[in-house]
Chains A and B, each alone.
Chain A
Amino acid sequence: MIKQSIIENVLEAALSNGGDFSEVFIEDKYVNRLELQSGKIEKSISGRDFGIGIRIFSGLQSIYTYTTDFSEEGLLRAAKRAAHAIKNGTNGTIHPLRKEMVLPIHQIGQMPKNVEHARKVAVMRKANEIARNYDERIRQVGLRYIDEEQHVLIANSEGKFVEDTRVHSRLSIQATASDGLEMQTGFYGPGAHAGFEFIENLNLEHYAGEAARIAITMLGADECPSGKFPVIIDNEFGGVIFHEACGHGLEATSVAKNNSVFANRIGEKVAPDIVTYIDDGTLPNEWGSLNIDDEGEKTRKNVLIENGILKGYLIDKFNARRMNAEATGSSRRESYRFNPTSRMTNTYIAPGTSTPEEIIASTENGLYAKYMGGGSVNPATGDYNFAVSEAYLVKNGKIDRPVRGATLIGNGAKTLQLVDKVGNNLAHGAGMCGSISGSLPVNVGQPMIRISEITVGGTKGE
């Protein structure tokens, strides 16, 4: 993308005022986005993102600059502008660059760039038809297709020089149902670190059908009551609750500065024995997977909590310094515009032994969250909130009736202690996670779990 000799000069210029580490991240990304609404392709845009991020460490100070000016003068000017932040240092050392080969774990079948729009549109039309035909009360179907082909080159003063290509494909389906009085929506958004083969092989009957079914189910649903109940959260995207409630608190971003309830607690019991929590960026072709992270480190399987014991954190190169620990292949950024930091990839609760039927049958009075919406967390306090997109009341061990407008609130560390059932049906769901280094594709996953008590906020009152 840019000549090696220029990269070497930039790495050197970055350390010209001192500092002990410099890094160049070059990104060249092609994007296609298509939208179908009211049965028609209404939006289609393509583009090329291109820019360079330069990073310098000087002890516990991190300096970052980025530019879209790819000329040698432009890059050297950016490097010097960043170096300017360091004073009274001596020249840092640059090791000769050694080209590393990336072993691709995630095979890409069809590069989206080589696939005509017409084939992408055909899939969208089919999904639209399935959702519309589900029920006559489906009034609107919105489809978003996106593919991204991101080429990165990462080089640093320690001699690293590595290139990689990441391909992401996703189809999001939103169905709106109306009975003339009210409107409800259902959503499903499968995605993968894969090419067009992923989109073409999608089971559209399932995904588009589910989006429509959720909207229709919620249309007839009662308002959700408020109070404290046992809550059963189904597998797949249900894992978003632990992503927010404890995943963010295990990122070095919060841990390094003691701004997390999980800081300084390695080896302590933070959850019941049945809870094992893992972040694994190597799962083949999963939405949150990568061959290498955005610092050029190989991704890996990081066990965060094992049988209830806190085992590790997600750590990037910079926070590793403050924490006196090793980086875990977890450093990510949305683009060259972001200083990378520790983030999740595919995070999930490992499967247990209970069957979903057993879990529901053993719940006398509670809430069953079949599909979760999004949520957020305050990482310092661990207070979280979630919307439930499809919920049911559970009565005497049976699923009773659907309810809408359920919101779950609580504290991550406390909720983690209250997990009392872990199912055997692990599955992963795709989502976007927003934090300080931008918006990233991540998977959340879990088998069906039960939490003995969560505060449920509803519209109906107690």
Chain B
Amino acid sequence: MQITEFQEELLSKAIDAGFQEAEVYYERSESFQCMIFEGEIDSYETSEEGGLGLRGLYNGKMGYAYTEKIDEDSIPFLIKSAKANADVLDEDDGSDIFGGSKDYPNHTFFSEELANIQITEKIELIKSIEKKVLAYDPRIVSLNYCVLQDFSGDRILANSKGLSLKEKKNGIVIFISAVVKDGEEMKTGSFIKLTRDFGSLEADKIAKEAAEEALSYLGEQSIPTRRYPIIMRHDAAASLLATFTPIFSAENTQKDQSLLKGKVGKKVASDIFTLLDDPFHPDAVAGSNFDGEGVATKTRSIVSNGTLETLLHNRKTAKIDGVETTGHAHKTSYKSTLTIAPLNMFIAPGEKSQDDLIASLDNGVLITNLAGLHSGTNTISGDFSVAATGFHIKDGKISSPVKQMTIAGNFFDLINDIEEIGSDLHFRPGGYGSPSLRVKELSVTVD
């Protein structure tokens, strides 16, 4: 069955069945992934998938259902389930189906050039990366991950109010993790890049970066447990930002789950801290022209020089707060209900290089990687206590890698304690970015 036909039939049958308004959200994607181990293809995966979600207003309440089996029989299943799900909700929460924005941006998230790269060329690239990493230094014993993945997909959002939006995207990811050994000491170092520009993936450069990252952790030393001034490298800073993103959601402030409640227009961070959401940033691969409800997206400043300018809203939370939606309704997939999330949020870069930041500390710690963020962080209180990897900085220079550490602090304090922001803005796959940050101090415990 053709998807447009199916969509039309589902929408009209939903209206016939008593839904006042309805929306169909469809996604389809294809992917290729291969993993190399010791020069051979260890695993080779391809996929072709699709699924669709129905969202509809029934007796004033929003019912949801989805299916991955797109056939005639699914229509009654979707309608019956969405009705039952609307019925069980406690009250009309003010959501409805959106008729559409006046204008939509017209950015493209799809590269024809990438789509035309042959599988053999991709396999050659990832094989040559593995070879180059292994040849880089005798202390590199293996690669526990050496993976290339690409994907392409499209999505359609159509509703009974006549809105019909479409978007195509693709991208390619390289993920490498090298295992290094020196005597009894064993470490890993990883490299990840998501791009739409296949030409930017240079095997020599990637191999060198991954190898040096892993090797840099050999020769670890212990340092005293205490509070240290911190340089949070761009990638560690971006992952911490991603973890604490829920604090910026209006859904959370409205439910007393975020301490930013009532803080719009107020100072919440250091003067030099500016937080932007740019769905079209050229260095990021994430992004979109419309949000999960079909609202046109645009670049926004969330925090400007330390002042909270806006929370992230969808149409429902905006109505409650008496503001306009910021276009942050988020649908993880056709399987999910609407939530709120940024499209591509990042901390605006400053002037100084990472080396300049390091040079500014006499006795500090450079944090390069955080682990356990899903468990060691409390987005409600802002407290975090997580495992960290990094280096001791002495007299303005990196002196040695540090044994396993934990760093502890509070995110709300941390954004107030940012003293310097680097120029090295990097995006991680998934759409969060940060430059390296110098933070006044954090509590560091060393194994």
Contact = CB atoms under 8 A, between A and B. Distances in A.
Interface of A: 28, 34, 37-38, 40-51, 60-70, 74, 78, 81-82, 85, 117-118, 121, 139-140, 176, 178, 182-185, 224, 226-227, 254, 257-259, 261, 337, 339, 373-376, 378-381, 383-387, 404-407, 409-411, 455-462
Given A45-B337, A48-B67, A184 B381 contact: yes
A45 B336 contact: yes
Contacts of A63: 43-45
A407 B408 contact: yes
B63 interface: yes
Contact of B443 (A41, A185, A406, A458): A458
Contacts of B177: 380
Given A140-B257, A386-B375, A456 B445 contact: yes
Contacts of A117: 84-85, 87-88
Contact of B375 (A183, A227, A387): A387
Contact of A339 (B43, B88, B179): B43
Contacts of B372: 374-376, 385-387, 407
9 contacts: A40-B89, A47-B65, A64-B45, A68-B49, A258-B142, A385-B406, A386-B372, A407-B406, A461-B225
Contacts of B317: none
A140 B50 CA distance: 37
A132 to B, nearest CB: 13
A43 B339 CA distance: 11
Given A184-B381, A458-B408, A48 B44 contact: no
A82 B41 CA distance: 13
Contacts of B380: 176, 183-185
A380 B90 contact: no
Given A185-B378, A385-B376, 14 more contacts: A45-B336, A47-B66, A47-B68, A62-B44, A69-B50, A117-B88, A140-B256, A184-B381, A226-B408, A254-B144, A259-B142, A381-B188, A407-B386, A455-B447
Interface residues of B, number: 74
Given A85-B44, A409-B447, A457-B445, A385 B68 contact: no
Nearest to B259: A183
A462 B226 contact: yes
Q: Which 10 A-B pairs rank lowest in CB-CB distance, beginning with the nearest?
A: A457-B406, A374-B375, A385-B387, A457-B445, A40-B90, A47-B66, A50-B69, A46-B81, A44-B85, A226-B445
A81 B44 CA distance: 11
Contacts of A386: 372, 375-376
A407 B376 contact: yes
Contact of A42 (B37, B50, B51, B89): B89
A224 B385 CA distance: 10
**Which of A41, A74, A380 counts the most chain B CB atoms within 10 A?**
A380
Contacts of B41: 61, 85
B355 interface: no
B255 interface: yes
A62 to B, nearest CB: 5
Nearest to B141: A258
A227 B386 CA distance: 15
A254 B47 CA distance: 25
Nearest to A33: B337
Nearest to B48: A67
B68 A67 contact: no
Contacts of B417: none
B142 A44 contact: no
Contact of B255 (A38, A44, A68, A178): A38
Given A40-B91, A226-B445, A47 B42 contact: no
Contacts of B259: 183
A117 B84 CA distance: 8
Nearest to A71: B71
B241 interface: no
Contact of B48 (A37, A69, A379): A69
A462 B406 CA distance: 13
A388 B64 CA distance: 36
A406 B49 CA distance: 43
Given A63-B44, A457-B408, A176 B257 contact: yes
